[in-house]
Amino acid sequence: MTSTLARTGVVRPDPKDPSPLRIDEALVRKMLILFIRDETVKARLRRAVVGVSGGVDSAVTVALAAEALGPENVLALFTPYRTSSPESRDHAQQLSRKFGFTLEEVPITEQVDAYFRARKEKVDKVRIGNKMARERKSIEYDRSWPDGIVLGTSNKTELLLGYGTQFGDMACGINPVGDLYKTQLRELALSIGIPEAIVRKPPTAELWEGQTDEGELGFTYADADLILYHMVDRRLRPAELVEHGFDAQLVARIRELVRRNHYKRVMPLIAKLSLRTVGHDFLYPRDWEAD
């Protein structure tokens, strides 16, 4: 049991102590269910659409949505490309059986391949990955019409590192899991009954064969989450983290990813010209007169 002091004030940063990331799963579950329910209604919508990959982030999102809105009001879309693994499909189906929501499969291979076949230049695999992410999101938005909200599945680690495709997997109406680090999200996943095989498998965007998040990033989520927690939540400067024994190179790398990708986390910049400008000084809440 963590003491009150440790929870609200004194936390000693230690690269070997993951306990500061521990969350009260029951409280988080309750807060997220109320969030999904309340903000869906405020948007004057009643259903949720979730892109389900078979991974833990979308598993938690869709399970919470089913609890918040009722499984009959949740549409999960499994949108495989030819490189997607059969295991992912199996995991998506397991979730659908367990939590009772409708799961539809909408393959994206045909349209993605047709688009790139027509390109003359050599296409980098990152471009194909981004196209897939945006293709999926365009399907989710299409299927959300007229009364559904698209739920985001980007966790706090991905958002901070910028490890996602802008207007692709990062796009959504509301995001229930965006303030949970990957480590915390796994903890929540186990407590709400996501099968262990889904929680424990190596995270992957499956944008190309053999891709894993940690392989591509070059560090583990466990290491990144602890650094991000102390840097972002606790406001420690990189130099202070290094003094406390965190790896200097890793701290610098993570700090740079956070800085470089900040553009993905904010609305597009609008050139200020008039006396009152959207985004600059025309500042109304999104829940303006909402129920």
Partner 1 sequence: MSIRIAIAQCAPALGAVKRNLDMHDKWIARAKAAGARLVIFPELSLTGYYLKDLAADVACAADDPQLARIAEASRDIDISAGFVERSADAKLHIAQGHWSGGKLVHVHRKVYLPTYGIFDDGRYFGPGDRFETYQWAGGTTGVAICEDLWHVSTPYLYAAAGATIVLAPSASPGRGVAEGGDLGTAESCRLMDRFYASYLTVYIVYVNRVGHEDGIAFWGGSEIVAPDGTVAARAPEFDEDLLIGEIDPELVARERARNPLLRDEREDIVLRNIAGRLGLPFDRRD
For partner 1, the closer of residues 34 and 197 by Cβ is 34
Q: Distances in Å between the alpha carbon of 247 and those of 209, 222, 252?
A: 30, 13, 9
Question: What is the nearest approach in angstroms of partner 1 to the Cβ of residue 36?
Answer: 10
Q: Is residue 239 a contact point for partner 1 (CB under 8 A)?
A: no
Question: What is the nearest approach in angstroms of partner 1 to the Cβ of residue 107?
Answer: 33
**Among 10, 12, 20, 227, which residue sits at the site for partner 1 (rule: CB under 8 A)?**
20
Is residue 207 within 8 Å of residue 125, measured between CB atoms? yes
Token code pair at residue 263: 């553009």
Contact region with partner 1 (CB under 8 A), list: 16-24, 82-90, 243-251, 258-266 = 16-24
**Among 121, 210, 267, 288, which residue sits at the site for partner 1 (rule: CB under 8 A)?**
288
Site size toward partner 1, by CB under 8 A? 32
For partner 1, the closer of residues 22 and 237 by Cβ is 22
Question: What is the nearest approach in angstroms of partner 1 to the Cβ of residue 256?
Answer: 25
For partner 1, the closer of residues 88 and 184 by Cβ is 184
Which residues does residue 48 pair with via DSSP β-bridges, in sequence order? 74, 149
Q: Is residue 286 a contact point for partner 1 (CB under 8 A)?
A: yes
For partner 1, the closer of residues 9 and 218 by Cβ is 9
Question: What is the nearest approach in angstroms of partner 1 to the Cβ of residue 29?
Answer: 10
Burial, 157: exposed, middle or buried (Cβ in 10 Å; 0-12, 13-18, 19+)? buried
Site for partner 1 in 123-182 (CB under 8 A): 174
Question: What is the nearest approach in angstroms of partner 1 to the Cβ of residue 30?
Answer: 7
Who's near 235: CB < 8 A, 6+ residues apart? Answer: none
Q: Is residue 266 a contact point for partner 1 (CB under 8 A)?
A: no
Q: Is residue 284 a contact point for partner 1 (CB under 8 A)?
A: yes
Token code pair at residue 159: 């958002």
- Say how far apart CA 178 and CA 159 lie, in whole Å: 7
For partner 1, the closer of residues 121 and 289 by Cβ is 289
Q: Is residue 252 a contact point for partner 1 (CB under 8 A)?
A: no
Q: Is residue 274 a contact point for partner 1 (CB under 8 A)?
A: no
Q: Is residue 285 a contact point for partner 1 (CB under 8 A)?
A: yes
Site for partner 1 in 24-43 (CB under 8 A): 24-25, 27-28, 30-31, 34-35, 38-39, 42
Token code pair at residue 240: 């202070």
Who's near 95: CB < 8 A, 6+ residues apart? Answer: 52, 59, 62, 63, 76, 101, 103, 194, 195, 198
- Say how far apart CA 70 and CA 234 lie, in whole Å: 37
For residue 83, give the amino acid letter: T
Maximum Cα–Cα distance across the chain = 62
Listing DSSP states for 196-210 in one string gives HHHHHSPP---SSTT
Burial 70-103 (b: 16+ CB within 10 A, else e): ebebbbbbbbbbeebeeebbebbbbbbeebebeb
Residues that bind partner 1 (CB under 8 A): 1-4, 6-8, 20, 22-25, 27-28, 30-31, 34-35, 38-39, 42, 174, 282-291
